[in-house]
Structures are given as structure tokens and as C-alpha cells.
């Protein structure tokens, strides 16, 4: 289970850092957030990359909290520990849905 948490943590911190501080400069290039609304204007593109990077940093912090809870909190069953690992993943997909709504038209 620790490998799953570590992979999540590295993904959220690593990709969040990349999007926040070194986002793709041109629309549609590189590995970035590529929704139709994000690709509409350069301003939307830049904002989408930085916003998703910020969301991913927050999810990394949440993942650290889940790790601490699962390791040092009360004894939890394996099922509960796996469900706790799903929380940041589900929130990541919710962020992908919410992000286009936060971009200007």
C-alpha cells in the first residue's frame, strides 16, 4: 500500500510542480491540461496550467495527510486504507471537471 501512496505523492508533487512552474508555453504543446476551453486563448491556456498545478499541490498535501492517518492513526482495515487512497484520485478527476468552469470565456 505504501507504494500506491508514494506513487500518488510523486505524481501530484512532480506533475503539479511541472504545471505550476514550467507549464507548456504554446497552446496544445507538451504535457498539459488540454480542454477545449483551455486551448481557446493563450490566457486561458496559461491559467489552466497553473491552476491545475496548484490543485495537484493541494492533492499532494491531502495525500500526505492520508498517509499519516493510515500509518499513525487508529488501526484501519485494508479496505478502508484502499478507500482512503482513492480520495485524492477521485478529487483529481473532480478538479479536471471543475477547472474549465473556472476559466474565463
* pTM of the entire predicted model: 0.84
pLDDT number for residue 77: 85
* Three-state SS letters, 15-64: HHHHHHHCCCCCCCCCCCCCCCCCCCCHHHHHHHHHHHHHHHHHHHHHHH
| Closest residue by Cα to residue 56 from 4, 103, 20 | 20
pLDDT for 82 equals 83
The answer to whether 1 and 70 have CB atoms below 8 angstroms apart is yes
Q: What pLDDT does 80 receive?
A: 86
CA-based R_g, the chain, Å: 16
Average pLDDT across each block of 10 residues of the chain; the chain has 105 residues. List them in order: 82 92 88 90 94 94 86 84 87 93 88
Question: Helix count (H) and strand count (E) of the chain?
Answer: 3, 0
The whole-number pLDDT of residue 1 equals: 66
Amino acid at each position: 500500500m505504501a507504494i500506491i501512496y508514494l506513487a500518488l505523492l510523486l505524481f501530484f508533487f512532480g506533475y503539479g510542480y511541472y504545471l505550476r512552474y514550467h507549464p507548456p508555453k504554446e497552446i496544445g504543446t507538451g504535457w498539459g491540461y488540454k480542454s477545449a476551453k483551455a486551448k481557446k486563448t493563450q490566457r486561458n491556456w496559461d491559467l489552466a496550467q497553473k491552476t491545475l498545478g496548484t490543485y495537484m499541490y493541494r492533492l499532494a498535501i491531502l495525500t500526505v495527510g492520508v498517509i499519516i492517518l493510515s500509518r499513525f492513526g487508529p488501526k484501519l482495515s485494508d479496505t478502508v486504507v484502499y478507500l482512503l487512497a482513492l480520495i485524492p484520485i477521485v478529487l483529481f478527476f473532480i478538479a479536471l471537471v471543475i477547472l474549465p468552469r473556472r476559466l474565463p470565456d
